[in-house]
Structure 1
Amino acid sequence: MVLKGARQVGKTWLMKEFGKSCYSSYVYFNLDEEEELKSIFETNKNPHRILELLSLIVGKKILPGETLIIFDEIQECPEALNTLKYFKEKANDYHVIAAGSLLGTLFARPKSYPVGMVNLLDIYPLTFDEFLDAMDPVLYVYYQSIKKGQQIEEIFHNRLLEAYNNYLIIGGMPECVASWVKYKDPARISQIQKELIEIYENDFSKHNGKVNSGRILMVFRSIVAQLAKPNEKFIYGAVREGARAREFEEAIEWLVSAGMLNRVYNVAKIEHPLSAFDKLEQFKLFVFDTGLLKHMAGVDNAAILLKSEYPFKGPLTENYVLQQLRGQFPVEPRYFSDKYREIDFVIQHGTEIIAAEVKGGEDKSAPSFKKYVADHKPEYALRFSKRGYRKDGYITNIPLYLARKTKELL
């Protein structure tokens, strides 16, 4: 199995925890820290010989099915990644798990990935429900019990909205969540977020391969300005005046492959199958963690906690909803925009296509969305907002804290 995901989302912890709880023992090899390990993979293709050498290094016998073999930061040694296919073919009784922080960028290159030989798992920051489980286990039990059409009592609605506001500030990066649980200190959260962004920006120059690292950095740093524009669509000229698509396409591809940015395409029609109508040159880019976006935008905590309206509220809320929707439906969400109207998200659920409007507060005005619903009378139409969970005609209002339960509530 190979875990891929941005740096610091908890891959190493997960692999070790899996080794502790499901195996007699585990052996851990970090291919970034232990340079000399690379030579083992570079000079040997036979997995039994590799296991012999690894056993000598850790000083204990590696047993098939009993010892979990962990290769961390495997992107540092493409030969090790390639060896996984030999493990599958010639030593399949040994259990191997690997992880890397920029594997998506490596997989994008030909010949670097053992196709069909590994199970791939994407690891993301904590979603709102996981965050709630860490913060307030009792409230989480209530959250889990919420069913389709259920009345949510005001006391719980208010407590869940408070948890949602906290999530916008803290986000889902494990270190931020753990710090808040332990210290309840916003200054610490802000410092961790600042350091994480510095780590990511340093990574751009370290791991970029053939892609110009300066351009990767320029795209990444332009995201707040891109989302702050009235239509949020990515415009190359906002990265650098006069910039053209061909100069920055590779940088965008790199950031999306690395799991740092989520790309949402505009569709020409709100019809099934969505991907057939992608306008590949029109898209929005969101940050993979809402807490990090909030920090990058410099939104003050007091604005989120105390004000009903503040600049950047719309993009931050959309970023949050997208983060919760990811992985719920087999097809990634899209958006719809033409000269006359815009719909925040378009979701494919089986053969049904669902229009979704995102509101950061209790406001209900959304002319494009309402007109679409009035014209098409769809089976489902969703509004994510701070209002309670209820159905108004064709529109179902889903409180923002229930975005992660969207599929369950349909």
Structure 2
Amino acid sequence: MLERKFTSVLEDFLLENQNKILLVNGARQIGKSYLIRYVGKRLFANFVEINLKEDKEGEQVFAAVHTTNDLYMRLSNFYSKPLGDKSNTLVFLNEIQSYPHLMTMLKFLNQEGRYRFIASGSQLGVALAQTPSVPLGSIEIQEMYPLDFEEFLWATGISKEWIESIHSQYVNEEALDESTHNLLLKRFQYYLLVGGLPEAINAYLEDRNMLKVRKVHQDIHNLYRIDSSQYDAEHKLKIRRIYDMIPSNLENKKKRVVYKKIENKTGKHFSDYADEFEYLSNSGVAIEVLAISNPRFPLAESEQKHLVKLYLNDVGLLTSLLYGLNVNAVLQDIRSINLGTVYESVVAQELKAHGFPLRYYDNKQKGEVDFLIDNYERLQVLPLEIKSGKDYTEHSALSKFLATPEYGIERAIVFSNEREIFQKKGITYMPIYYCMFLKKDVTDTNAVVLPELETI
């Protein structure tokens, strides 16, 4: 079994939070159902799983459920042995977006407290938008993603203790020795080829046969294309077209979506495709990055939704589409191959998995910077530039960005293949694999405890 960080999220919630229902959102084929099943069976004597997508496409046993008693009756018929109570019974409503009316019912199931419930879906954002009464206060939504690079290292035999020692060097901005650097860089290159989808990783671990890995990528990519077309007749072709355009858009100098190319019509704008972008983002098959022209902390105040970049949710899918079975495109330093798109994609995937809203800098005079994230410790914006070639110290847009006094930016990071870590003109140069240590969460819990108020 692949070890996942999300396991602790499930365990902590099911053991400690007795007053809400957890909804796990994420793209299909990232391991949601498997992990919930694994944790649920371990923690509860009675584990009941209902796949509502299969039910909707089959007997539709749960389609006519409109009261909690209806649901309890069908559950008792579905499960072969007597159910217990909230202390020992977990009911898993898999692919709950298939029946939006059950989303509303979660509030009442939670209030009655007869059993513990957990739900998952690949399009919960879309389903919640279509739900007439969202059960806020009764649910908690957690996002799950493909395996990040650190989880891939675990899967390939790198111990947590070894990674922790590397993390301490990252914190101290120390370079690794040559042999460790080469080992990590090679693992990173393999991650670019295999990606973070569990089925692809398991296929790789079985016998390192890239033919099998690429077959998994092709199947999942086709599945995403089919899923992304199941919106309605008006939108489905545009959704598929936008999704299919992602790799070619990323190969352009300006990687953002060109709206007139979606339907080959001039005069098109973001507003014409807002529903399609929302679907692709909410279903988890695409990662959306919004533009910032006035980079001030917090970045949420300055988002521009009309200039959008899209990345695939998994870098393995991207390298499969771009290079097929030619692994040398990634493993060897081939001058004609520009891996900038691939490197940006994997950093987008890492940042998304680590909780960062994704933004990039766009300015007609100064150019573009790949990513901007909020630095909560310094209450500043932290720019990130991703480089895959030998020219990693050449970045005119980033230099102009830092030289703009009104932005008040003191520091930036450039990630590249180079081992050495050094600072120059406010920029810290780091090896690309260190991107796995970028975290949004505050780790020092004492830092978020408010002091007592003065008495009046």
- Give the TM-score taking structure 1 as reference length: 0.92
Tell me which of 351, 357, 363 is aligned to 1:325.
Answer: 351
The CA deviation string for residues 320-377 of structure 1, in whole angstroms up to 9 with x for no partner, is 1111112435543333332332211111112211111110134321122123335558
What is the aligned partner in structure 2 of residue 225 from structure 1?
248
Matching residue of 1:382: 413
Change (3 A) 1:112 1:291: farther
CA distance in 2, matches of 1:409, 1:22: 27
| Alpha-carbon spacing, 1:254–1:336, altered in 2? closer, same or farther (3 Å) | same
More displaced 10-residue stretch of structure 1: 102-111 or 270-279: 102-111
Count residues with an aligned counterpart. 406
Distance between the aligned counterparts of 1:34 and 1:341, measured in 2?
51
Per-residue CA deviations over 1:45-82 (Å, capped at 9, x if unaligned) read: 12x55224312221222222212111111111112222
1:68 has 2:90 as partner:
yes
Distance (Å, rounded) in 1 between the aligned partners of 2:327 and 2:261: 27
Shift of 1:312: 4.8
- Tell me the amino acid that sits aligned with residue 358 of structure 1: I
Range that drifts further, 243-252 or 13-22: 243-252
Match of 1:313 in 2: 339
1:143 matched to which residue of 2? 163
2:3 maps to none
Identity across aligned pairs (percent)?
25
In the alignment, is residue 7 of structure 1 matched against residue 32 of structure 2? Answer: no
- 1:118 — aligned with what? 139
1:391 correspondence with 2:422: yes
The reply to whether residue 404 of structure 1 matches residue 436 of structure 2 is: yes
Partner of residue 179, structure 1: 203
2:396 is aligned to 367
Determine if contact 1:265/1:279 at 8 Å carries over to the other structure: yes
Q: 1:378: Cα distance to partner?
A: 3.8
Task: Kindly indicate whether the alpha-carbon contact (under 8 Å) linking 1:289 and 1:323 is maintained by their aligned counterparts in 2.
Answer: yes
1:281 Cα deviation from its structure 2 partner: 0.9
Correspondent of 1:86 among 103, 108, 116: 108
Q: What one-letter code is carried by the residue in structure 1 that aligns with 2:136?
A: V
Matches of 1:395 and 1:256 in 2, distance apart? 32
1:20 aligns with 2:20: no
Q: Which amino acid aligns with 2:412?
A: A
Q: Could you say if the C-alpha distance between residues 7 and 329 of structure 1 is closer, same or farther in structure 2, counting changes exceeding 3 Å? A: closer
Shift of residue 266 of structure 1?
1.2
Query: Contact (CA 8 Å) 1:360, 1:386: kept in 2 or not?
Result: yes
Provide the rounded CA distance (Å) in 2 between the counterparts of 1:407 and 1:39: 43
Question: Which amino acid letter does the alignment assign opposite residue 221 of structure 1?
Answer: D
* Structure 1 residues 101-112: aligned runs within 5 Å: 101-111=122-132
Cα gap change, 1:348 to 1:336, in 2 (>3 Å): farther
Please name the residue that 1:271 is paired with: 296
Pick aligned residue for 2:227 from 193, 197, 203: 203
**Secondary structure, aligned partner of 1:111:** coil
Q: 1:118 to 1:6 in 2, by over 3 A?
A: same
- Whole-angstrom CA distance in 1 between matches of 2:130 and 2:77: 33
Give the distance between the partners of 1:118 and 1:15, measured in 2 at CA: 16
Q: 1:250 maps to what in 2?
A: 275
Of 395-404 and 10-19, the range deviating more from structure 2: 395-404
Q: How does 1:51-66 map to 2 (within 5 A)?
A: 51-63=72-84, 64-66=86-88
Aligned equivalents of 1:217 and 1:155: distance in 2? 44
The alpha-carbon distance between structure 1 residues 312 and 5, as it changes in their structure 2 partners (threshold 3 A), is farther
Q: Which residue in the other structure is 1:216 paired with?
A: 239
> Structure 1, unaligned stretches of length 5 or more?
none
RMSD: 2.4
Partner SS for 2:365? coil
SS in 1 for 2:301: helix
Return the alpha-carbon distance in structure 1 between the equivalents of residues 190 and 217 of structure 2: 15
- Conserved in 2, the CA contact under 8 Å of 1:336 and 1:346? no
Task: Report the Cα distance in structure 1 between the residues aligned to 2:397 and 2:335, rounded to whole angstroms.
Answer: 21
Q: What CA distance in whole angstroms lies between the structure 2 residues aligned with 1:215 and 1:40?
A: 31
Deviation readout 1:69-127 (Å, 9 max, x if unpaired)? 11111111112222211111122x52111111222221233526322211111111000
Which deviates the most, 217-226 or 387-396?
387-396
Q: Aligned-pair distance for 1:241? A: 2.1
Measured in 2, the distance between the counterparts of 1:71 and 1:304 equals 40
CA distance in 2, matches of 1:133, 1:144: 12
Query: Does the 8 Å contact 1:170/1:177 carry over to 2?
Result: yes
Tell me: CA distance 1:380–1:258, structure 2 relative to 1, closer, same or farther (3 Å): same
- Residue 42 of structure 1 contacts residue 79 of structure 1 at CA under 8 Å; is this kept in 2? no
For 1:223-248, what per-residue CA distance to the aligned partner results, in whole angstroms no more than 9, with x for missing partners? Answer: 11211111112101232322523543
Once the two structures are TM-superposed, the CA of residue 252 in structure 1 deviates from its matched residue by 1.9
What 5-or-longer segments of structure 2 have no aligned partner? 1-21, 443-456
Larger mean CA deviation between 53-62 and 8-17 belongs to 53-62
Q: Return the offset for 1:216.
A: 0.9
In structure 2, give the amino acid aligned to 1:83.
M
d(CA) in 1 for partners of 2:327, 2:234: 36
CA shift in 2, pair 1:211/1:66, >3 Å: farther
Give yes or no for contact 1:266–1:337 (8 Å, CA) kept in 2: no
Deviation at 1:301, TM superposition (A): 1.6
Compared CA separation, residues 151 and 313, structure 1 to 2 (3 A): closer
